[in-house]
Structure 1
């Protein structure tokens, strides 16, 4: 069987690409990576060759094409149940799906003001009540999960929920938001993952630069 192909954008900036990439890499699921860079805020017209939406990421697995981060992760979790990408406990699995879906649909203030940027100098920005409300909600979600599971990740073992929130770890870090000790320790564990370090090193080495107001 041929490995699926994961099309991604710039590792320094593409938060949606980071999510399935770190999930699959951490779970040990084999895939072929194809990076198609963008050097403009609108993306890259070349994405249309493989992406029905003109965006990344896209997973091509045999005769099926999947074009959304959470759907990609759910697809590979179903293909590889032995990888444990969803929690075993039914209630935890449902909660992990709810959290992952909330990540897809919410936190627009934080995402707009603080694009993922692996090589950004760590410094704060001027915040708004909406940004701070997003950060507070995220910290509440993480803290509650970690206290219930005992860690080291949101539901004990690394799961799709951790992968979906991975770019937020970068955001809270490089934009220097204040975090409580439970959240701070969790962020350190995420950044220590071999897959995180591999992605970050590649992102820092990329030549492409996108202005913060375009990323």
Structure 2
């Protein structure tokens, strides 16, 4: 058994758990998944975006505990530099850090209006006005990255940015958010990514009654 443990919550609902898991897989870390008890109040708060201090995903490795997703990315980049989680080129690396930081600290309206639910599909869904600027900003970010770096991932090959935006692709699919062909192709790249498929299989295997969200998004 690996001495690394990644604590996660629901694979169907938790976007931050997905991000941390992708980063660990991309780095090549041998780790054990440790799901939290989803009946616990703190876990429910995390999924409902109500917790002031979200402690999942949490990586335990070599005596170190890291519970912030970008901190996990930086730690893994130090321990596994050969994985090149950030682009090698200085300019691309700065761009990647900027867009990754933006999704990490912003887009609250988008997360509230379009909560992650990999099992759900809506043929039509009206995005409330407060979240529309977030959607437009993400369209702009993706377009700039793909045009600047050539695709099929945001910086050519998988990086931290793709781990950060993979849950957004899932949200856009769940809620039928309209995308131009180039951006839809990026989402399909994410969906076809073996790591994303592995996570999705785990999400589909979760019991449907795993949690009942008690707020109106």
Note the alpha carbon deviations across 1:121-155, whole angstroms, 9 max, x for none: 23333322221110110011011101111111111
Residues 30-109 of structure 1: pairs in structure 2 closer than 5 A: 30-39=30-39, 42-43=42-43, 53=53, 55-109=55-109
Please say which of residues 202-211 and 159-168 is displaced more in the overlay.
202-211
Note the alpha carbon deviations across 1:173-211, whole angstroms, 9 max, x for none: 110000011110000000001111111111111011332
Distance 1:23 1:65 in 2: 15
Q: Please name the residue that 2:191 is paired with.
A: 191
Say which SS state the counterpart of residue 43 (structure 2) adopts. coil
Note the alpha carbon deviations across 1:36-88, whole angstroms, 9 max, x for none: 2414674169xxxxxxx563110011111101111111111111010011000
Unpaired segments of 5 or more residues in structure 2?
46-52
Say which SS state the counterpart of residue 118 (structure 1) adopts. coil
Contact 1:154 1:162 in 2 (8 A): yes
Q: CA deviation at 1:30?
A: 2.0
Query: What is the TM-score normalised by the length of structure 2?
Result: 0.88
Distance 1:103 1:12 in 2: 19
Note the alpha carbon deviations across 1:84-121, whole angstroms, 9 max, x for none: 11000111111111111110111111100111111012
Over 6 Å off, 4+ runs: none
**Aligned residue pairs, count:** 208
Query: What is the TM-score normalised by the length of structure 1?
Result: 0.89
Contact 1:77 1:84 in 2 (8 A): yes
Q: Please name the residue that 1:166 is paired with.
A: 166
